[in-house]
Amino acid sequence: MTEMPHDVSPSPYQQPAVQDPMAEQKPKTPAWAITIGVISIVLASYGLICTPVVMAGMVFHSAFQEPLSEFPSWHRVYTLGASVVGIVIAVVELTAGISLLRRASAARTLHLVYAIAAVTLCLVGNVLMLTSVDWANLSPDRIPGFIGGLLGGWVALGYPVFVIVWFMRDKIKREVANWR
């Protein structure tokens, strides 16, 4: 019985394995960047789809107009204007999420711009809601809706506040600064 030597050369018919020189140079996107990038894209897409629908409802549908009658007349204009600003913020957030997945150094700045704008818009909206409603004369069946709106506004602050805290960390600042 013949034994095969341990250092058998490859068959002349077999192509040698070729390594892609670009594969070694392309750094791997960290898991945190993928997670935050995808969350930003999903939330921004939700805002870009739903906000125009709500705006159309406020203008054209009586079910949206009746609750607005509890507010002063200027509040409807503010709400529509804030919705337009919200769409712009959602575009910034979408761009930030895509930039993060592409490992662009602008992703950090875009996320911070989105988050600060979202927190500001949310706080202004909640303060205006609290101060512009005549709570003493508000019909009791409307109170749960207003409370739900306020609580929803405070819950909506969760992601933007997280984004501010996350991207202000020194470790993240240094890591993102080294991206293209």
Domain segments of the chain: what residues? Answer: 30-177
User: CA angle, 143 as apex, 138 and 149 as ends, to 5°?
Assistant: 120
Token pair, residue 154, equals 């405070």
Mean per-residue pLDDT over the chain, rounded:
84
Give the per-residue pLDDT at 170. 95
Q: Distance between CA atoms of 99 and 112, rounded to whole angstroms?
A: 13
Residues 6+ apart with CB under 8 A from 145: 67
Tell me the whole-structure pTM to 2 decimals. 0.75
Q: Distance between CA atoms of 176 and 149, rounded to whole angstroms?
A: 36
Q: pLDDT of the chain along its 180 residues, tens only? A: 566 556 556 666 666 666 665 555 667 889 999 999 999 999 999 999 998 988 888 777 666 666 666 677 777 788 889 999 999 999 999 999 999 999 999 999 999 999 999 999 999 988 887 887 777 777 788 778 778 888 888 888 999 999 999 999 999 999 999 888
Are 164 and 119 in contact by the 8 Å Cβ rule? The answer is: yes
